[in-house]
Structure formats: structure tokens, C-alpha cells
Amino acid sequence: MTNLVISRDRSVLKAKVERVAERVLIHTLLVLGTILVLVPFAWTLSTSLKSDKQVLEFPPSWIPSPPIWYNYVEIFEARPFLVWYKNSLFVAAVCLFGEVLSSAIVAYGFARLRFKGRNVLFFVLLSTMMIPFHLLIVPRFVMFKVFGWLNTFRPMTIPAFFGSAFSIFLLRQYFMTIPLDLDDAAKIDGAGYLQTFLRIILPLAKPALGAVAIFQFMSSWRDFTGPLIYLSSEENYTLPLGLYTYQADYFPEWNLFMAASVIAMVLPIVVFLIAQKYFISGLALVGTGGTKG
Amino acid sequence: MAISAKAKRPRLTERKKESIAGWLFISPWIIGFIIFTLGPLLYAIVLSFYQWDFIQDPKFIGLRNFERMFGDKLFWQSLKVTVSYGLMRVPMGIIVGIGAAILLNQRVKLLGLWRVIYYLPVILPPVATTLMWMWIYNPRYGVINNFLLSVFHIQGPAWLQDQRLVLPSFMVMAVWGAMGRNMLIYLSGLQSISKELYNAADVDGAKSLAKFFYITLPMLSPVIFFNLITGMIDVFKLFSQPFIMTEGGPRNASLFFYYYMFRYISERFQVGYAAAMSLFVFILIMILTVLVFRSSSAWVYYEGELKGRKEQ
């Protein structure tokens, strides 16, 4: 009898030890992963606050003493960094406005209205997401040249006003979850399709619109190949393109380099931290389709 | 006439109205699709049969661009680099993504904070992170080689200037950058697995490892499948790293396809040849995608499928 109790105690104890060991393992791995994710940032931040001499010191110190805050002023003085920042903001803002508006309109058509060919067209829309961008750069470049759009922001901004497959898909999925009864009730009250869209669907779809807005903002903020191909004069550069000019230096000043990178990273991080709920819910909405190159 | 038709069959005109409204609502996308996607797509096909340098008139040369491509050693090198990199990078991304997702699916404190940290690299501009990693990989002053020297007293290699190390170095960067994105995708996959399956396995006394291989992995297979296809397309889109960090070197060891094609547009102004290459690779990607799709029925498990069979 006592034997049995002891052995039971033992197995309870064993289970407890196992559970604690599991907890420890999970937390160790979590911390390890966090370190791996954050070390590059810490190194960048630390370098950005070093003097020219400190950058080349061995062994390198993680905490620059004294921190050279002036680096962050110098990047704005040495290059038209502020102009690039403004350009990036402008392009991102116009794209955001255009894409949210147009994608919502198109998504409403796909989600709520019945017409011949709708399913075929929706399939075409989805398959455009599979077309590799590289196939289109040559003809688009030629086309924008004919339009006289080269070295303007138009090649980036104007296409946004025709909706993007990803945003349309995401919004359509959300619109489908709104009860159809609401549309019918609006119809009985004499509302047309446009009014139903503006007064009923849009206000109810705020979370999805928010998600689309954030995805769009992020993707234009990070875009490098577009500006690289279409913009040629320095005063029209966006931030990623401006950052790239540092790389072309013969004697790279790594501290300024890193300070500039930090500046380019700050805005998306802040936006992400503020709006992460939209982000996560948006990704959940498209399920496995939740990524945008 | 119209009025009497309306009186007789009011539902039909209602239908028609809805149909017209539907087309009007989706018309922005249709116009955009024709101008910015379909048109350029067809134009790319036409251009691939021409020789053109942006200045002189385009000259029709039949299949000569394609003939040249098949004899172009650097073109095949670029495909070799891209595909061999993809064979490392895509499985690695899947493994790390599943690992991170399982880790962040546990009941731990501050779960939201951990997830945000892991997701952070995804949102950053690639140019900024590429510059950052260039500095990390710097042979003399970079953090990795400094760590190796001060802790293990080893002189670290020149990561990006070494033919054998350049692709693995790119991969570490890419996995670091995409981990959060993959993590989130697998996380939503994990959360859609019914708890009953695990409970049933517990009753049968299954170990964690068995549960992983017999429940988690099969249930995640549609997500893995999705990740495989998007990962493959991503590899063909890779541009900023070779362009900014290595310019395809050393000795073309990081000559990725997209970057190689880009050179023909921006430096050599051979637009027709660039179009031919991009068309060929587009078809190649399509074939690869179809192959993955075909093979998927053998290893991807869809829950709906089984339900369908039960009903019969």
C-alpha cells in the first residue's frame, strides 16, 4: 500500500519536473530567438551613435561613449534626406488613399453583386497574384516612357487607383461576412447600390479597411525596385533609393549609413506597434493568403 | 415597350440593373488589369521576338533571342544560383517558421509582445536591412567576425566575398527577415487544428514527437504547400541583396536571375533579350507550380476532402 502511494507520488513529481523542464525549454528558446532577432538591430543602433573612430575600434563596444547624437543631424545635412523622406511619405499616402478606395469599390462588386462572368473574373484576379513582377518591368517601363511618366511618382501612384488583387481579395473576404439582410433592408428603404456601399458596407468594414491601408503603406514604404527603375534625379528619390546612394560611396561612413537605416525603419515600426491588431486580424482574414511580397 | 416589359417581368430588369452595377463596381480593376497587367504581358511576349535598345527602331529577329539564351552560360548560371538557393532557402524557411509558430503557440506570459518582436524584421524596408546585414557581415568590423575573434580566437571569413559562403549568408538574412511572416501563417494553421485530435492522442498515450508527426504536420500540410509555392516565387523575385551587396559576385556565385535580367535593361539596353529571359522564366515558374500542385494530392491533407468522401 505505502509502496503504491510512494510510486504515485513519484509519478506526480516526475510529471511536475517534466512540466517545469518544458517551461524552461520554451522560455529559453523564446529568449534565444528574441536575441537572434534583435542583435542586428542593437548592432545597427549602436553603430549609428558612434564616432568615425569608434566604428573601427577593436574589440567593438556595444554602448558608444559618448553617443554621437549629431550623426542623426548630419545625415539630414549631408544629403537631401528630408526631401527623400517627404517623397516616400507622399507616395505612400497617395497609394494608400487610391488603393483603399478603389479596392473597396471593386471588392463590393465581387462580394455583393451578381453578374455574368463574375467567378471567371475573380479567378483571373487571383491568378494575377501569381504573375512574377519581373515579366512586367520591361513593357511597363516602355509604356511609362511613352506616357511621359518617367522620373515622376506616377508609375508608383496611378496604378494604385485601379485596385490591387491582394487588397481586393482581402476586402471581398471581409464583405462576404457581413449579413446580406442589411443590404436587403437598405434596398427596402430605397437605397441604391452606391448608397448601400457607402452607408452600410464601408462603416462595417473598418477593420478590414484598416488592414488593407497598413499593408499598402508598408509595401510602398519598402518598395525599392519601382523607384529604382522609374526615378532618375536625386530630388525625386524615395527613402530606400536614397539609402542606396550611401552604398555607392567609396569610403562608406558606416555610422551615418546605419543612422540613415534607423531613420528609415522607425516609421514602419511605430505604425506596426500602433496598428498591430489590424495587421493580425487582416492576416487571419486571408488565412494562408496573408502575405504581400 | 420598355415599360411593358418592366411590368411583365420586373425581376429580370432588377437582375439587369444589378448586373450593370456589378460591372461598374469592378470596372476600375478591369481597366487597370488591361492597362497595367494584360497589355504589358502581351507586349513582353511581342518584345521577346525583337531586338531593341530603346533608341533605334525595334527589329524583328524571330527566335534569335531564345537561341542566344540557350547558349548564354551566365543565364544558366543565374538559374542555377536561383534554384540551388531556393532549394536551401525554402525548406529552411518552412522549418524555422513552423518552429517559431509552435513556440509562440504555447501558453506563455506576454505572448503578444513575443509575437511582435518575432514579426518585427518583416515590416522593415529591405534596403535598410540589407545595409544592416552588410555591416554585420563586414569581415573586419562586423559583429559576427568580432564575436568569432574575441570568443573563439578565429579569424572569420569574408562572408560575402567567398564563393561558397555567399549563398548561405544570404539565406541566414532571408530566414531572419521572413521568419515572422512564416510564423504568423503557421500560427493560424496551428490554431485551426481541432483540440480533439490532441486529446484523443493523449488518451492513446502518444508522445509529443508522435503528436507532431502524426497530427500537427499532416494538418499543416496545406499551409506548407502554400509556403512552398510563395517561397519559390519569392526566390525568383530576389533582387536587392545581390544588387546592393555583391553585384552578383564573387565570380557570379550570387548572380540571381532577376538581377541578371535587370542588367540587360539598365546597363546593356537589350530590352528584347531581357523580355525573352523573363518570359522563359515565367513559363518555368508556371511549370514548377503545376508540378507542385500535381504532387500535392499525394502529401497535402485537406479536411474538406475527407468530409466529402464520408458523405458519399
Domain hosting A23: range is 2-48
CA distance A14 to chain B (A): 15
**The C-alpha cell of A87 is what?**
517623397
- Given a cut of 60, is residue A1 above it in pLDDT? no
**Dist. CA B33–CA B36, nearest whole Å:** 6
Does residue A139 lie in a domain region?
Answer: yes
Q: Which residue has the higher pLDDT, A127 or B85?
A: B85
B29 neighbors A125 (Cβ within 8 angstroms)? yes
pLDDT tens by residue, B266-300: 888 888 899 999 999 888 888 888 888 888 777 78
What's the domain count of chain A? Answer: 2
Question: Residue A112, by phi and psi: left (phi above 0), alpha (psi -120 to 50) or beta?
Answer: alpha
| Cα dihedral A254, A258, A261, A267 in deg (nearest 10) | -160
Query: Which residues on neighbouring strands pair with residue B99, listed in sequence order?
Result: none
Q: Strand, helix or coil at B51?
A: strand
**Dist. CA A18–CA A266, nearest whole Å:** 42
Backbone angles phi, psi at B109, to 5 degrees: -70, 155
pLDDT tens by residue, A181-230: 888 888 888 888 999 999 989 999 888 888 888 888 888 998 998 899 89
**Dist. CA A80–CA A75, nearest whole Å:** 8
Does residue A124 lie in a domain region?
Answer: yes
* Whether residue A93 sits in one domain with residue A24: no
Of B26, B124, B179, the CB nearest to A110: B26
When pLDDT is averaged across residues A5-20 and rounded to a whole number, the result is 78
- Given a cut of 90, is residue A257 above it in pLDDT? no
Question: Among A134, A197, A239, A245, which would you mutate to test the B interface (most chain B Cβ atoms within 10 Å of its Cβ)?
Answer: A134
Does residue A65 lie in a domain region?
Answer: no
Does residue A55 lie in a domain region?
Answer: no
- Given a cut of 60, is residue B307 above it in pLDDT? no
- Given a cut of 90, is residue B80 above it in pLDDT? yes
Nearest CA in chain B to A24: B108
When pLDDT is averaged across residues B10-36 and rounded to a whole number, the result is 88
Residues of A numbered 22-51 whose beta carbons fall under 8 angstroms of chain B's beta carbons: which are they?
Answer: 26-27, 29-30, 33-34, 36-41, 43-44, 47
Does residue A203 lie in a domain region?
Answer: yes
When pLDDT is averaged across residues B215-236 and rounded to a whole number, the result is 85
Does residue A274 lie in a domain region?
Answer: yes
pTM for the whole structure? 0.83
Residues in CB range of B53: below 8 A, 6 or more apart = B269, B270, B271
Residues of A numbered 180-199 whose beta carbons fall under 8 angstroms of chain B's beta carbons: which are they?
Answer: 193, 197
* Whether residue A21 sits in one domain with residue A120: no
From residue B287, alpha-carbon distances to A288, B228, B305 in Å are 22, 14, 25
* Whether residue A81 sits in one domain with residue A13: no
**Dist. CA A27–CA A22, nearest whole Å:** 9
CATH architecture of B73-311: Orthogonal Bundle (1.10)
Query: Which residues on neighbouring strands pair with residue B292, listed in sequence order?
Result: none
When pLDDT is averaged across residues B115-143 and rounded to a whole number, the result is 87
CATH number of the CATH domain containing A89: 1.10.3720.10
pLDDT tens by residue, A31-61: 999 998 998 888 889 989 988 888 887 777 7
Find the helix packing angle between A254-286 and B166-191, rounded to 10°.
Answer: 30
